[in-house]
Amino acid sequence: MNVAQETIVAGFFEAIANADRETMLALMDPEAQWVVPRTAVAPYAGRHRGAAKIVDMMLQATTATFLPGTVRHRVLTQMSDASRVMAETEMVARQTGGCEYRNFYVFIFEFRDGRICEIREHVDTAYAIQFFGAGQQATEAP
C-alpha cells in the first residue's frame, strides 16, 4: 500500500471534478501519457503524450458535456504498490440536457518521482458511445 500515491490519485479525481487544470498539471509528470481503449470515440482513443495535452483533453470532455459541479468519481476499489495505484471507479455526472451519465472505469496510475507519469484507462466504451450518441469510433491502436 502506498498512501502518498493514493492521496495523489484522490486529489487528481477531485481536480477533475472541479475542472482544476493547475492542480491536475501539478500532479502529473510533464511527459505523462494517457492510454484510452482503442474502441473509444475519436479523439480520445489511443495513446496521448504530454500532461498539458492530456489535461486539456480530459477537461474539454467533461466541461463541454456535463454541468459544472456534477462530475464525480466514486472509488469502489483501490490498490497500490511502490509505483502504481489501481482505482476502480464509478463516474457519475449530469449532462447539460439533464441525462445522468453513470459508467464504471478502472484506472492504473503509474508514478515516477512522486508524480503521475502514465494513466491507463479502461471503460465501458459501448455504453459511452450509446450515451453520447457518437456514430464514429476511432480505430487507432494504443
The pairing of beta strand 84-94 with beta strand 100-112: antiparallel
pLDDT in tens, 27-41: 999 999 999 999 998
Q: Does a structural domain hold residue 80?
A: yes
Q: 28: domain CATH number? A: 3.10.450.50
What grid cell was written down for 73?
A: 468519481
Grid coordinates standing for 60?
474539454
Position 142 in a domain: no
pLDDT of residue 26: 99
Residue for grid cell 464514429 = 136
pLDDT tens digits, one per residue of 45-93:
999 999 999 999 999 999 988 999 999 999 999 999 999 999 999 999 9
Percent of the chain past pLDDT 90, that is, above it, reads: 82
Number of domains in the chain: 1
Q: Is residue 139 part of a domain?
A: no
Could you tell me the residue range of the domain that residue 18 belongs to? 3-132
Q: Prior bond to 68 cis, omega within 30?
A: no
Would you say residue 140 lies in a domain? no
State the average pLDDT for the chain: 92
In a domain, 119, yes or no: yes
Residue 116 lies in a domain: yes
